[in-house]
Structures are given as structure tokens and as C-alpha cells.
Chain A
Amino acid sequence: MTGMNNQKFAVAVISAVLLSGCYSIQVARSPAFSRCRIAAEEDCVPTAHMLVQNDGWFLFDRLPIVCGNANTESWFPWTFFKDEVSMEYVQKAIVRRAKMRGERIVQMNAINHNATLMSLPSTQGLSVPYLICHHATQISVVFEKTIDSIPELRDAAKVPEKPAEKPAETTEEVAQ
């Protein structure tokens, strides 16, 4: 009987850990991407594409139970009873990176997703709306740098100077 209780407790702990929120950052970059241009951004080159996401579990759709810890300096991956699944928290990592590397942020898009129909094992497949809800926020961006800030590109973009042509006489000058 004690063994059975221990098993249930282990399953409950493992489920709680696996079900909990998660804050993740993914960055992708490639030389081919850096050779492209972003539309309407003539003087810049893209440096990286980034996707930041956070998710968490809420009771009655409002009360945060456990969320991913958006504070990257903390070693603990979760926060309890604190709502960190918001665009404000997710955006922090993006702004921090941009400031640190002197990059500009373009093509910023956000997606918020809420799952409110959670079917639990004890409800035998029947979904109970707004009992336990899952919220997720994702923001994707493209980072870019100005050509002037990259020495190799700045030198390559330099056009050899032409001798200055004498400007044509204006009608006013002719009149004088």
C-alpha cells in the first residue's frame, strides 16, 4: 500500500515538473541570411532571427500557478503564483540582446495562445472549461545592424570618388 502511494506521489511530482511553464529563447543565424536585405531597410543587414516564448498554467484562467521564469539571471526555471506569461516579460530578453550588441529590432511579431479546454485524467475525457488553463506568449524578431557599423561591409559599399563636376550655370546666373 505504501509502495502504491509512493508511486502515485512520484507520478504527481514528475507530472507537476513536466506540466510546468517554460521560458525559452532560440536564435538562428547564417551567412546566407546576412547577405539578404530586409524590405525597406536599405542601409542594414540582418544578423539573426530570434523566437522567445514563455508559457504557464493558470487556475480559473486568471490565477497563475506556475510559469516559466523570464528572469534569465536566475538559476530556477519556474516562478510560482506570479504571471510572467506576458509580452512585457518576453520582450525583455529581446531588448536586452539588442542593446548589448548594438542591433536594431525589426519584423517584430507576437502570438498569444490560451488553451482553456483542458481534459484531465479524472474527468474521463470531458473538458472542463476555465478550470486549468494554459497560456503561451511568443515573440519573433529579426535583428539587424547598419552597414556603417560593420567595417567589412562599409568598406565594400564605398564607391570610388568621382572628380567633382562643375555645376551647370543656373538661369539666374545667366541672367546676371
Chain B
Amino acid sequence: MKKLALILATAAFAGCMTSEISRTPNGMEGDGGETHLLMVDIENVGWYLFDFIPILCGDPHHVNEVSSVFFRDTLTLQNNLDELMRIAQREGTYTIGSMMSHEVSESVWVIILSRHAYHTSATLMRKQ
């Protein structure tokens, strides 16, 4: 029973790729005459053994779904950029501002089990 609970808990907190969008109501004017439309934050999470062997990582083809891939490292800047471009195309915005990426790492039992998360955030704008 304990093993089953552990497996379910692991599955629930497993790697996941998500994108969070914050919309600016009626747009907001930027410095260069652009209208700010969206703020996007893309997060891809993965669990690693000894800090470099991937166990479970977010599935870049199933964003915002609890979907993971096993033993494959999908925590790359390329996957985050591709997702950002998918959002930009979907929203019809082709001007990018305040773009940045960073990695957050946490470890359990020194480094036996570690959790990494790649974040990419940007403001998507439209030229007036």
C-alpha cells in the first residue's frame, strides 16, 4: 500500500511542461510604440538521479497536460523557445520584449534526487 502511494505521489508530482499566460486588458503601450498583449512564462520540470540522469521530464508535445517522458532529458532552452514561438503564432504577435530564461534546481538527499525547472518568460507585443 505504501509503495502504491509512493508511486502515485511520484506520478502526481512528475515532470510537466506548462505555459502560463497573463493577458493585459485592452493592451498597454510600451516604450517603442508597441502594445503589450501578453506575458508568458514557460516552465519545464524534470526529476534527475544524481543530478544528471533524467528520470521523468515534462513532455514538450503535451504542454499543460500532466504528461511526462521517461529517461529522456527534455529540459532544454530549445523546447522552451519552440513553445514560446507556438504561443506567439497562435496569438498573432511577432514582437518580443523582456525575454529571459533561468534554471531553478532543488535537491533531495544532497543530490541523490534533484528537481530542475527551466523557465522562459517574455512579453508578447503588437506593433501599433
A137 to chain B, nearest CB (A): 11
| Interface contact A36-B94, CB-CB below 8 Å | yes
Question: Contacts A38-B97, A39-B97, A107-B100; is A30 near B85 (CB within 8 Å)?
Answer: yes
For residue A35, CB closer than 8 A to chain B, the reply is yes
| Chain A: number of interface residues, binned into ranges | 20 to 34
CA distance A37 to B123 in the complex (A): 12
Task: Name B's A-contacting residues (CB within 8 A).
Answer: 30-32, 34, 50-52, 76-78, 80-82, 85, 88-89, 94-103, 105, 109-111, 120, 123, 125, 127
Cβ-closest chain A residue relative to B82: A30
For A42, the chain B residues whose CB sits under 8 A away are 32
Question: Contacts A39-B32, A40-B32, A49-B77; is A18 near B85 (CB within 8 Å)?
Answer: no
CA distance A50 to B76 in the complex (A): 11
B75 to chain A, nearest CB (A): 10
For residue A120, CB closer than 8 A to chain B, the reply is yes
Task: Name A's B-contacting residues (CB within 8 A).
Answer: 15, 18-19, 26-30, 32-33, 35-40, 42, 46, 49-51, 53, 107, 109, 111, 120-121, 136, 138, 140, 142
Cβ-closest chain A residue relative to B97: A39
The 4 A-B residue pairs whose C-beta atoms are closest, nearest first, are: A40-B32, A39-B97, A32-B85, A109-B100
| Interface contact A32-B88, CB-CB below 8 Å | yes
Question: Contacts A36-B96, A38-B95, A39-B97; is A51 near B88 (CB within 8 Å)?
Answer: no
CA distance A66 to B125 in the complex (A): 43
